[in-house]
Chain A
Amino acid sequence: MTEPLVQIHKLTKHFRLGIRDTVHAVDDVSFDIRPKEIVGLVGESGSGKSTLGKTIIGLHAKTAGSVTFAGRRLPFRFSTSHFRKFANRMQMIFQDPYSSLNPRMTVGEIIAEGPKLLGTKGRVKIKHETREWLERVGLNADHVSRYPHEFSGGQRQRIGIARALILEPDFVICDEPISALDVSVQAQVINLLGELKDSLGLTLLFIAHDLSMVRYVSDRIAVMYLGSLIELGPADEVFFNPKHPYTQVLIGSNPEPDPKFERSRTFTKIQGEIPSPVNIKPGCRFASRCPKVMDVCRKKAPELRNIAANGKERLVACYLYEDE
């Protein structure tokens, strides 16, 4: 197997709330991202998927654990010089195309800001590349002097993509890049990301809550619940044969645009809602809502382990599969 591009090892991110309370946003998460693959990261809001993405890329300092990128261990806390050093290796595309672009800068300034700050390219070259990237993401090169408000949501997301990719990174974290867009425009942005991924050889961590879309784009799917990684495996395996009771519920609640399927659906509803991530109790985090909960689940959290035979990968953190 090829050397992973990103290795996430026991990564933990806690936020302190006053003296007594701690938010366990990401707890002890370990997985690898291989070169040129797309890993989809799903989970409900509050499950820590965005925090995980931001901690990997250095936007949050780590509480514990490490991230290794292309064989080099990333610093515990990023300084300005670290960001500069890694800017052309790792980039991020943000969820909200309305608030993630500076309204006082022209589109040309927004896209050119990265290469300008890096200072490895001349002004003329940057100007040329900015125009080139606008065309590449399906906008008009003559729009460089326009402001973000003159563009629609889908067009703004394309600007966000151009801003991230003009630095020619190897690894891009897409944090809900299509959630704010209409269906017909979502497909435009997804197909654009797919084309650029192929032509540039990108590796992507695709964070989203739309399960069908995640299955469509991803090679592997990782499922998070309340800060911990509970399942990871090939996209179709996880989608069609979910192992963890939470993944089963999540996929069982995913609406399908197919009335016949919906009528025949047997509901695997769960009661209640995702609990607060403040001062989490020991044991499995899903225990309070799990339809298959056992005594052991409440005592000690299950570890993520491989349950597939013959060298395949199918990671699940659940006591139901401990003996297999």
Chain B
Amino acid sequence: MTANSLLQVSNLHVEFTTYGGIVHAVRGADFHVERGETLAIVGESGCGKSVAVQSVLGLIPIPPGRITQGEAILDGHQILGHQTIEGKDIRGNRVGMIFQDPMTSLNPTMTIGNQIAEPLKLHRKMSGAQAKKRAIELLEMTKIPEAAKRASQYPFEFSGGMLQRAMIAMAIACEPDLLIADEPTTALDVTIQAQILELIKDLQQEVGMGLILITHDLGVVAGVADRVVVMYAGEILESGTADEIFFAPSHPYTLGLLSAMPTNRRDVVQTLMPIPGSPPDLFSPPEGCGYAARCPQAMEACVANRPTQFTVSDSHFSKCWLHHEACEHRVLEVQQV
């Protein structure tokens, strides 16, 4: 963590009031992204990964949502609860966003070109003609063939992969410092996924923006992330560089996730090790470690006490009591598997 991170989120708590009670969706999340860096936020559905990022940008409905604690600093400015920095919009301007489902995230009654031109007119005060010209350039940047013709078409005339390209064009229209991609390839086939990820990587290098990639697919993470944050039940359990997370996981949950998915090494005969049970109910989150109920190495201390953050290396942190000095031998057990 450096003093001038692009985005620094600390101790974020988000709740939702529902008929069933209060859902504690995010329970103390800390993460940061540097310029030009790719941070992947990984976790299963309902772990709070999307809510954590969306609440920072003010994209969750308030009420029923509520940010109870925490702060988020974008480029030196507090942005929690703010729409603007020094009079300029954050969303769509400083921060671009790509959503999971391109079919429902675009306006079906507007042409693709007009939708891409919209942020340019709004944030950059471009004229209609300028914005349209730029929109076509952006479509070319995202490698959409016949960009000029495509710009005057409607979303239903695009395939899923092409729509995702159009979404990317829109997100980078104002040259944001930070791009947030929330499950950008989940709805796409693998061959198209590979094309889109390659495109995002290329554009990131070209523009030099920070990228937060929210995903549940560890394969995608391995391909693009510099650093990885693993979320579970509203908490960040482990964070580190991609190599640390994949080759030296130091939280039993990360290890569990990696052992639950098939790898393709020809010489290894693998048996999948599922994680028993299901994630905890966030209406009444557990007092201790959120993962304790499913953890094969859970101890008595884990049920009653929430683990604090332990430092594994300069860039590698884990919230697990196994790293406490009182049980050093068990930490090794984790790392050797």
Contacts and interface: CB of A to CB of B under 8 A. Distances in A.
A256 B193 CA distance: 13
B147 to A, nearest CB: 15
Given A154-B278, A183-B44, A259-B222, A215 B264 contact: yes
B216 interface: yes
B272 A269 contact: no
Can you list the 6 inter-chain pairs with the closest CB atoms, starting with the nearest? Answer: A255-B219, A187-B274, A184-B275, A253-B194, A187-B260, A188-B274
B272 A257 contact: no
Interface of A: 44-45, 152, 154-155, 182-188, 190-191, 209, 211-213, 215-216, 236, 239-240, 249-250, 252-262, 265, 267, 269-270, 273-274
A154 B260 CA distance: 14
Interface string B175-214: 0000000000000011111110010000000000000000
Given A154-B278, A187-B274, A256 B190 contact: no
Contacts of B261: 183, 186-187, 212, 257
Contact of B262 (A212, A261, A267, A269): A212
B275 A187 contact: yes
B328 interface: no
Interface in B81-106: none
Contacts of B275: 184-185, 187-188
Contact of A269 (B194, B217, B274): B194
Given A240-B266, A273-B161, A44 B189 contact: yes
Nearest to B42: A183
Contact of B222 (A239, A253, A262): A262
B273 interface: yes
B307 to A, nearest CB: 20
A123 B258 CA distance: 45
B191 to A, nearest CB: 5
B223 A255 contact: yes
B69 interface: no
A64 to B, nearest CB: 28
A252 B219 CA distance: 13
Given A184-B257, A212-B263, A216-B272, A256 B219 contact: yes
B119 to A, nearest CB: 26
A253 B276 CA distance: 30
Nearest to A43: B189
Nearest to B143: A271
A284 B288 CA distance: 59
B303 to A, nearest CB: 20
B107 interface: no
Given A45-B189, A267-B194, 11 more contacts: A182-B44, A183-B218, A185-B44, A187-B275, A215-B262, A216-B272, A240-B264, A240-B266, A258-B222, A259-B223, A261-B222
Contacts of A155: 278
Contact of A258 (B263, B273, B274, B278): B263
B258 A185 contact: no
Contacts of A215: 262, 264
27 contacts: A182-B44, A182-B216, A183-B44, A186-B274, A187-B261, A188-B276, A209-B189, A215-B262, A215-B264, A216-B270, A216-B272, A250-B190, A253-B193, A254-B264, A255-B194, A255-B220, A255-B223, A256-B223, A257-B218, A257-B222, A257-B263, A259-B246, A265-B223, A267-B198, A269-B195, A269-B198, A273-B161
Contacts of A213: 262
A198 B278 CA distance: 26
Q: Which of B161, B191, B243, B257 has the most CB of A within 10 A?
A: B191
Nearest to A241: B266
